[in-house]
Amino acid sequence: MKIVIVGAGEVGYHIASRLALEDKDVVVLDKDAAALRRVAENMDVQTIAGSGSSPSILEEAGIRDADILLAVTNQDETNLVACLVANMLSPTTLKIARIRGADFDAYHETFRNQPPHIDTIINPEIEVVKTIERLMRVPGAVDVGEFADGRIKFVGVYLDRQSRLAGIRLSELPATIGQRRFLIAVIVREEEVIIPTGKDRLLPGDLVYFICEEKQLAEALSIFEKHAKPIKRVLIIGGGRIGYRLAVRLEAQSIYCKIIEKNPSRCAELAEKLNKTVVLHGDGSDHTLLNEENIADIDVVITLTNDEETNVLSSLLATSMGAGKAITKISKFSYFPLMKAIGIEQVVSPRLSAINTILQHIRRGKVLSAVSLKGEQAEVMEAVALETSDIVAKPLRRIAFPKGAIVAGIIRGEQIIIPTGESVIEPNDHIIIFAQRRAISGIEKIMAVKLEYF
């Protein structure tokens, strides 16, 4: 598969690095020599200096032979023109574009059906708002994903020191919690990803990923002492495009919302556009302002400014003053490993949301979707079991799964099965697989179908 990527920024860089690991033919275009040099020095892909909206540059990149064009620069207009030119030169090439501007929201369908005929439009701001809403709905979660149209949830929570599960082996779970319908699929411990067996223990500080049916989610969370509280009051720090989009969604859910924004003209604009949200002019890291706004009565603080340090400091300050919890927007991937150490657990990233969404849309074959887990050392994927596969028609305990992989769920029509060793996969079942990166090749063989992943 040949993929042309227009844009060598953070999104383009990380997409290229994952696709390069799959031995795909990747070409990266950008006018920024330093950005291209970073790509060339860190991965085995072709780089071309120039604008991705230039016909001659796209020709040089081999657009006529490309299966996919990814237009992921920071400029919506550049991405649109790149897709338009690519459509003229190679109409059969699949085109995916990152489009962030709210002005374009109403025209996504037009762009699909008329030139530039963009097959998939990704708006990272919309995706990150969806992520924030999922985190708000699941108490204590640091990662939340969905499969089978939302009927299956996979959730990551940190294990507290006082938890009754701390120190027990997984084989002892039934005796501790009874026959509850959920499965612990992954443990992340000090940046190491563990696909656990019955002999593994749960330790305080572990990031534990479990999978369960949506209707069993509250019960599963209660086992980890994570109890749902109705969210009634939300404070958004940063009234940019993401803050505005989120406020509109919260208004529709009748959740009381305040926005703190530094820019006075932006405050006036927000006050005019929003119906119920209280808009405040000020600094979200101002102790006095937060105190005046009764921060201790706020259920969730969401920091969405364009400054990483302000987001981190505002989140820490708000929770130290009594706010229920904080969700923090971070764009620099290098900051991610530091967040837990300084007391920030719930982190969202528009760039990471864009990357995951884009990579899901370029996947082919029998893998329907896949998501990287925290730290990007493991993946969870939904795939279809083929009739000819070695994985069907025998109990899971008799299947030689590669080390570092586990079947965490089986979807058979409307039925959802949290599997045991005796469970049998039937042809055309959808299966949920958690796997470390090193186990992917073994999963490919056992499924007897090429699983495309990132």
Alpha helices by DSSP H, listed for 304-372, are 308-320, 336-339, 350-361
- pLDDT for res 145: 83
- pLDDT for res 295: 96
pLDDT in tens, 230-270: 899 999 999 999 999 999 999 999 999 999 999 999 999 99
- pLDDT for res 454: 39
**Interval 153-177 mean pLDDT:** 88
Higher pLDDT, 435 or 425: 425
**Interval 16-40 mean pLDDT:** 90
Instruction: Quote the radius of gyration of the chain (alpha carbons, Å).
Output: 23
- pLDDT for res 180: 62
CATH 3.40.50.720 intervals, the chain:
2-122, 234-346
Structure tokens at 222: 């209660």
What is d(CA 255, CA 260) in angstroms, rounded to the nearest whole number?
16
Which of 276-280, 319-323, 351-355, 412-416 comes out lowest in average pLDDT? 351-355
CA–CA distances in Å: residue 244 to residues 231, 275, 277, 309: 19, 12, 10, 21
- pLDDT for res 365: 45
How many percent of the chain have pLDDT more than 70? 92
What is d(CA 279, CA 274) in angstroms, rounded to the nearest whole number?
9
**Contacting residues for 314 by C-beta, under 8 A, at least 6 apart:** 237, 284, 285, 301, 303, 305, 326
Tell me how crowded residue 10 is: count the other CB atoms within 10 A of its CB.
20
pLDDT in tens, 60-115: 999 999 999 999 999 999 999 999 999 999 999 999 999 998 889 999 999 999 98
- pLDDT for res 67: 93
Contact (Cβ atoms closer than 8 angstroms) between residue 321 and residue 349? no
How many percent of the chain have pLDDT more than 90? 52
Closest alpha carbon to 423 in 447, 400, 435, 407: 407
SS3 111: helix
Contact (Cβ atoms closer than 8 angstroms) between residue 312 and residue 325? no
Closest alpha carbon to 148 in 96, 215, 195: 215
- pLDDT for res 315: 96
Average pLDDT, the chain: 88
Closest alpha carbon to 141 in 321, 325, 7, 12: 325
Q: Could you tell me which residues are beta bridge partners of residue 219?
A: none
- pLDDT for res 399: 84
- pLDDT for res 269: 96
- pLDDT for res 377: 67
pLDDT in tens, 40-62: 999 999 999 999 999 999 999 99
- pLDDT for res 451: 44
What is d(CA 331, CA 308) in angstroms, rounded to the nearest whole number?
7
Pick the CATH number of 234-346 from 1.10.760.10, 3.40.50.720, 3.50.50.60, 3.30.465.10: 3.40.50.720
The most confident of the ranges 19-33, 252-266, 322-336, 407-421 is 252-266
**Interval 163-170 mean pLDDT:** 90
Looking up tokens 């059906």 gives 113
Does 415 score more than 50 pLDDT?
yes
List the CATH code of the domain at 2-122: 3.40.50.720
Q: What burial letters (b/e) apply to 152-189, b meaning 16+ CB within 10 Å?
A: bbbbbbbbeeebebeebebeebeeebeebebbbbbbbe
- pLDDT for res 368: 66
SS3 14: helix
CATH 3.30.70.1450 intervals, the chain:
129-134+141-223, 354-447
- pLDDT for res 196: 86
List the CATH code of the domain at 354-447: 3.30.70.1450
Which of 318-322, 390-394, 440-444 comes out lowest in average pLDDT? 440-444
pLDDT in tens, 342-382: 889 899 998 888 887 787 676 544 666 666 676 566 778 78
Structure tokens at 177: 């919690």
CA–CA distances in Å: residue 373 to residues 109, 112, 194, 207: 31, 31, 12, 11
SS3 251: helix
Does 181 score more than 70 pLDDT?
no
pTM over 0.85: no
What is d(CA 14, CA 8) in angstroms, rounded to the nearest whole number?
9
- pLDDT for res 453: 41
- pLDDT for res 450: 43
Does 163 score more than 70 pLDDT?
yes
- pLDDT for res 338: 83
Q: What burial letters (b/e) apply to 74-102, b meaning 16+ CB within 10 Å?
A: eebebbbbbbbbbbeebeebbbbbbbbee
Q: Could you tell me which residues are beta bridge partners of residue 192?
A: 189
CATH architecture for segment(s) 129-134+141-223:
2-Layer Sandwich (3.30)
